[in-house]
Amino acid sequence: MEMDATVLADALTRLKRAHGQLGGVISMVENGEDCEKVLTQLAAVSKALDRAGFKIISTGLEQCNSARERGEEPPISRERLEKLFLSLS
């Protein structure tokens, strides 16, 4: 299934934010920062990645539903999309 960057702008923003946060976490570990602060930032990275993944899955569901409504074959099967969704949990 092709992804449209304009439709996935929110997911892309979250991924870019997570990218920056991960760089910060790496620096914190390299500099011997406090464990609690590192883990707090790591949890934020993880949450941003999860939300981006769920946004991408949501967009895929919308694309499949739109294709069905137009009488077209969806770009990905419901079963495959469900499997991808479950891989995020």
List % helix, strand, coil for the chain (3-state, nearest 5): 75, 0, 25
Q: pLDDT tens digits, residue range 32-43? A: 999 999 999 999
Reported for 12-19, long-range contacts at CB under 8 A and 24+ positions apart, including other chains, are 12/52, 14/48, 14/49, 14/51, 14/52, 14/55, 15/48, 15/49, 15/52, 17/48, 18/45, 18/48, 18/49, 18/52
Q: pLDDT tens digits, residue range 1-29? A: 676 777 788 889 989 999 999 999 999 99
Confidence of residue 45 (pLDDT cuts 50, 70, 90): very high
pLDDT of residue 1: 63
